[in-house]
Amino acid sequence: MLIRPMTIDDYEEVYSLWMSCKGMGLNNLDDSKEGIEKFLIHNPNTCFVAEENCIVGAIMVGNDGRRGYIYHTAVNPKYQNQKIGTKLLNTAINELIKLGIMLCSKPEIRRSCNPSPPRGYTMLRVLLL
């Protein structure tokens, strides 16, 4: 399993992954190829994909310089229960910590396509799984 930074070249495969996950909150503007490209330009070190011959997981995390925000997190249903989501989340959180971000909000977290997001902010050192 390879965890690597997400690039705009991954868009079609990641979008297909999102569409395969029940309950993903997508919209036409922010989640368009152009919207994701803009997000990746502003957050080049905190968005990741998990690959095993193809993309099987993805996480998009951004920050405003003070707090981190976990957005789309998805794992292909066929690959769930293998800690892929945990690895993606920990990789992104470690990058936020390197940037000096110590608080994180989860406005749309979907662990393994689970549509019930937790609320509020969490200290990143506590959030590491």
pLDDT in tens, 44-77: 999 999 999 999 999 999 998 888 888 888 999 9
Structure confidence at residue 109 (pLDDT): 41
pTM, two decimals, is 0.81
Residue 19 is encoded by which pair of tokens?
A: 């569409």
d(CA 119, CA 26): 19
Name the pLDDT band for 27 (thresholds 50, 70, 90).
low
State the helix-helix crossing angle for 11-20 and 33-42, rounded to 10 degrees: 110
Using CA atoms, how far apart are residues 52 and 105, in angstroms rounded to an integer? 29
What distances in angstroms separate CA 3 from CA 26, 34, 90, 122, 124, one per listed residue?
23, 23, 11, 23, 20
Q: What is the pLDDT of residue 38?
A: 95
Helix ranges (DSSP H) in the chain: 11-20, 33-42, 84-98, 124-127
